[in-house]
Amino acid sequence: MSTEAPEAAPAPEEPRRGTTLRSSKGRMADPLFKWAVASCGTVVLVILALMVLRTTTEAWPVFAKEGFFGFLTGEQWQSGNSRTEITGTYGAWPFIYGTLVTATIAIVIALPLAIMVSFYLTHLAPRRIAKPLSYTVELLAAVPSVIFGLWGLHWFLPNVLRPFFEFLEGVLGWFFLFEGPIRGVGYLSAGIVLAIMILPIMTAIIREVIAVHPVEQRMAAYALGSTRWEVLRNVVLPASFSGIVAAAMLGLGRALGETIAVLMLIGGSQSWGASLFGTGSSMASHIAATFGEATPESRTALMAIGVALFLVTMIVNILARVIVWRLGRMTGDAAV
Amino acid sequence: MSVSNTATPRGTEPGRGIAPDTVRYNREVPGLGDPVFDISDLSIHYGSNKAVRDVNMQVGPRQITAMIGPSGCGKSTVLRTLNRMNDLIPGARIEGRVTYHGEDLYASDVDPIEVRRRIGMVFQKPNPFPKSIYDNVAYGPRINGTRGNMDDLVEETLTKAALWDEVKDKLKESAFALSGGQQQRLCIARTIAVNPEVILMDEPCSALDPIATLKIEDLMYELAAEYTIVIVTHNMQQAARVSDRTAFFTASVDGEGDRYGSLVEYDETATIFSKPSDQRTEDYISGRFG
């Protein structure tokens, strides 16, 4: 401080000193960088807009014939062979249903699992276990989905899921969700494998969120005689709520859009039914399954499914934001 | 209680020690009676490091026991063994015996959860939950399944913690809206809401300004009529002002170059600050080291 003051004072007497303040570096570099970063952000928006625009225009004839809501709620999917007009019947409801059901199963299974794994990894596991376990979970994220599909279909389904399904049907068969017959492949099989697939990304995020939870608050809860479960439920989870919802959204996003593994496990029928043992298709799996031999007409209809998938994903995300916003204020989450 | 000589802590001049008349609250030092805690030959290990060695002391009921000493002397570590908070630190283990009303706190069938419900703790940094003032106080009673009128319990507890008048109109507001001193009193309220017998305080005023500190000290003094309080403090004047007994810990280095903490002297506070029997205590309280 004392050395700066005398230097600043004589400045007017020495005109040359002023020139040290003039440089093009800061004046040019900062705006340039800002411009570059802003345009990168804009590119993302432009690409998204172009995609939406393009698929919607391509799909337009189908929406024109079936009506937008008619397309979303229609239960029949009969492809026509025309090159110029829409002659078939296109209703996407069985696929929308398949997508929503499998994604819901996945999130219902994966979310609690991811929370427990994260809590164990961050707060309970000894370091020598926590590290390898974290890596293993992350490795799970690197496994290509077709491997999950193959493994699910040829090992997991016959050895684990089928006995489990038979048990479920035996106990809860009277309940419409668990009505037989059991075909093996179906909504539940696809949903459970999806749960395994989205577990790593959710665990990675929830782990980070829980890890930054202030230790003083956990200590306060322990000092009041809380058990570990009470600390997790009453202190850590409420404070990490928005981060956990964000993780669930990422997982849900992946579950909604997952194609190959679902295609291999969901059964591929074009009908829908309430029983979780039933077979069906998801939007993404139906597009992938029929795109190869699609006629120009049914290609248009597949584009329409694409638009519907985009919409469903968007609605789910908006709902999640609303949940975070509403519940976050109630639980006093500092991050909201 | 007299608030006479609080503005300028006196008696800190080197070589003189803190005069016994800086003791702020005039009361007879209660006897150890039937001790609440009996610590014998306590050593605490962190991994392979024996961080605290051979502590022997007793804590009497319904009085304030202070633990003072330089950084690294193990006073906070000893404090945390009293409600088994050390269990939460990986690698921590104890040797020796700590009894609570004659019962071994570390017996294999003792539930640490139950221990912490009877022996509460207030921390260095005010750490209210990110909830409303009301929910902070109600947290403990709720997890303990306390029955009865929660509103009454919250009011009664906040009154005891000398906070009710300041917060009664904003019980539903976030605890973070309070000042640091108020937050710390809220944390004390949260602790006494589960009706513990003992309150352990780990440097409860080190993050607070002098006025807030004095309020906490007044509160501690009042609470001592009902609760047993053990306080760790860096602030010698604080120990001199509020405590009935003071334990002085110090940090030493053994032959192998390992640092460890140990108890040097434990006596009535007035004695520790006027005629300590150990030279190290005198050096510390007169400001010659630490």
Q: So what's the ipTM on this one?
A: 0.85
Q: Does A53 touch chain B (CB under 8 A)?
A: no
Residues of B at the A interface, defined by Cβ within 8 angstroms: 83, 85, 88, 90, 113-114, 116-117, 120-121, 123, 125, 127-132, 139-140, 143-144, 174, 176, 187, 190-191, 194
SS3 assignment, position A68: helix
pLDDT digits (tens, 9 = 90+) for A76-89: 888 888 888 888 88
Cα–Cα distance for residue pair A302/A230, rounded to 1 Å: 49
Please choose, from the candidates B281, B254, B211, the residue with its C-alpha nearest in 3D space to the C-alpha of residue B50.
Answer: B254
Mean pLDDT across chain B: 87
Q: Does A15 touch chain B (CB under 8 A)?
A: no
A221: which chain B residues are within 8 Å (Cβ-Cβ)? Answer: 129, 139
Predicted pLDDT at A83:
81
B-chain residue closest to A330, CA distance: B131
- Compare CB distances from B129 to A126, A223, A235 and report the shortest one's residue: A235
> Does the beta-carbon distance from A221 to B85 stay under 8 Å?
no
Complete DSSP assignment for B189-251: HHHHTT--SEEEEESTTTTS-HHHHHHHHHHHHHHTTTSEEEEE-S-HHHHHHH-SEEEEEEE
Predicted pLDDT at B227:
94
Predicted pLDDT at B289:
64
pLDDT digits (tens, 9 = 90+) for A124-166: 888 888 889 888 888 888 899 899 999 999 999 999 999 999 9
- Compare CB distances from B121 to A217, A223, A226 and report the shortest one's residue: A223
State which residues of chain B have pLDDT below 50. 1-21
Complete DSSP assignment for A119-163: HIIIIIS-HHHHHHHHHHHHHHHHS-HHHHHHHIIIIIIIIIIHH
Written as one letter, the residue type at B45 is H
Predicted pLDDT at A19:
64
CA distance, residue A218 to nearest chain B CA (Å) = 9
pLDDT higher at B28 or A39: A39
pLDDT higher at A4 or A91: A91
Mean pLDDT across chain A: 86
A238: preceding bond cis by omega (within 30 degrees): no
Q: Which of residues 201-220 of A touch B (CB under 8 A)?
A: 214, 216-217, 219-220
Query: What tokens does B117 get?
Result: 């419900």
pLDDT digits (tens, 9 = 90+) for B198-256: 999 999 998 889 888 998 999 999 999 999 999 999 888 899 989 999 999 999 998 88
Predicted pLDDT at A330:
55
> Does the beta-carbon distance from A224 to B120 stay under 8 Å?
yes
CA distance, residue A75 to nearest chain B CA (Å) = 48
> Does the beta-carbon distance from A219 to B123 stay under 8 Å?
yes
Predicted pLDDT at B21:
46
- Compare CB distances from B90 to A126, A219, A334 and report the shortest one's residue: A126
In the block, residue with structure tokens 């080291």: B289
Enter the pTM of the model. Answer: 0.77
* Helix and strand totals (H; E) in chain A: 16, 2
pLDDT digits (tens, 9 = 90+) for A180-203: 788 889 999 999 999 999 999 999
- Asked if residue A11 has pLDDT above 60, the reply is no
CA distance, residue A289 to nearest chain B CA (Å) = 50
A234: which chain B residues are within 8 Å (Cβ-Cβ)? Answer: 139, 143
CA distance, residue B1 to nearest chain A CA (Å) = 30
Predicted pLDDT at A184:
86
- Asked if residue A8 has pLDDT above 70, the reply is no
